[in-house]
């Protein structure tokens, strides 16, 4: 478990030293934080033109369940909770390889969303060139450094979703792309709400705040991408549930590492 939590913090290297505050300090903020985070699902506005927008809502609902969840003590607990949540919402979780999914989730919590990682997944799961080109746009978003505020971040993601809705791709890849962007948008709303006042605190710079919110969203989006690919490889129809579990468990793992 110690190794898991150490690995998870890799995504937050930009702001790593800000986590040195005591648990007492964190507890003092919990009541306000709970109220703020609970509004994150409402902040995520679905795009009805995306038939998978509801997956983003489900993603944030799972994250709310995971917040300060005393029943979660290990990575396996996180995975089991994600599977149970998917089942409760009517998804068949027997459509993919469990070992591959757990490995992908762990990878998502320890990686960056880059063109090189897209190429690596593409070679493994046979992504088309057109699909990779669309995913490169999401990689560009995650690696940009010119954001001025959270409105710009959320608007850029919303515009990217519009692009994806109009993308000319094979049906299976188009569906995976729409699930990934729905989770990415919802996740970004969640993590922005998770750190609502950091930029107002004298000890937290804007750069470190970006590192925090992007760290969580990157894990979620990559988990959804890899999970969807695994699910599709197992039979096509497993792509959606694979993306749900991959994104949810990656995000749950990041949140667990922060809170415990």
Could you report the per-residue pLDDT of 210-255, keeping only the tens digit for each? 677 788 888 888 888 888 888 777 665 577 888 888 887 776 777 7
Q: What's the pLDDT at 29?
A: 42
3-state helix, strand, coil in the chain (%, to 5): 75, 0, 25
The sign of the dihedral angle between the CA atoms of 66, 42, 135, 140 is negative
Say whether 216 sits in a helix, a strand or coil.
helix
pLDDT above 90 (res 1)? no
Residue scoring higher pLDDT (177 or 257): 177
The Cβ of residue 232 has, within 10 Å, a number of other Cβ atoms equal to: 23
pLDDT band for position 8 (50/70/90)? very low
Domain ranges of the chain: 2-6+38-259
Chain mean pLDDT for the chain: 76
Neighbours of 164 (CB within 10 A): 21
Those residues with Cβ within 8 angstroms of residue 227's Cβ, 6 or more apart along the chain or in another chain: 96, 101, 104, 105, 242, 243, 244, 245, 246, 247
* DSSP assignments along 53-64, one per residue: HHHHHHHHHHHH
- Asked whether the predicted pLDDT for residue 25 surpasses 60, the reply is no
């Amino acid at each position: 478990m110690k190794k898991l939590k150490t690995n998870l913090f890799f995504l937050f290297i930009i702001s790593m030293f800000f986590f040195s505050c005591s648990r007492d300090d964190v507890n003092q903020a919990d009541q306000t934080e709970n109220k703020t985070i609970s509004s994150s699902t409402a902040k995520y506005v679905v795009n009805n033109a995306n038939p998978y927008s509801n997956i983003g809502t489900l993603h944030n609902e799972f994250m709310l369940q995971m917040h300060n969840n005393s029943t979660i003590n290990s990575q396996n607990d996180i995975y089991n909770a994600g599977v149970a949540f998917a089942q409760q919402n009517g998804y068949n979780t027997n459509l993919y390889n469990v070992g591959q999914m757990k490995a992908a989730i762990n990878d998502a919590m320890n990686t960056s969303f880059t063109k090189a990682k897209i190429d690596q997944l593409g070679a493994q799961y046979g992504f088309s060139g057109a699909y990779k080109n669309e995913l490169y746009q999401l990689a560009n978003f995650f690696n940009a450094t010119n954001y001025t505020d959270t409105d710009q971040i959320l608007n850029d993601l919303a515009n990217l979703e519009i692009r994806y809705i109009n993308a000319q791709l094979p049906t299976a890849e188009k569906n995976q792309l729409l699930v990934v962007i729905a989770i990415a948008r919802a996740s970004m709303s969640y993590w922005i709400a998770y750190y609502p006042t950091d930029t107002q605190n004298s000890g937290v710079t804007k750069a470190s705040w970006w590192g925090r919110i992007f760290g969580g969203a990157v894990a979620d989006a990559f988990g959804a991408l890899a999970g969807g690919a695994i699910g599709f490889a197992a039979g096509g129809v497993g792509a959606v549930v694979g993306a749900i579990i991959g994104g949810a468990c990656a995000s749950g793992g990041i949140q667990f590492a922060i809170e415990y």
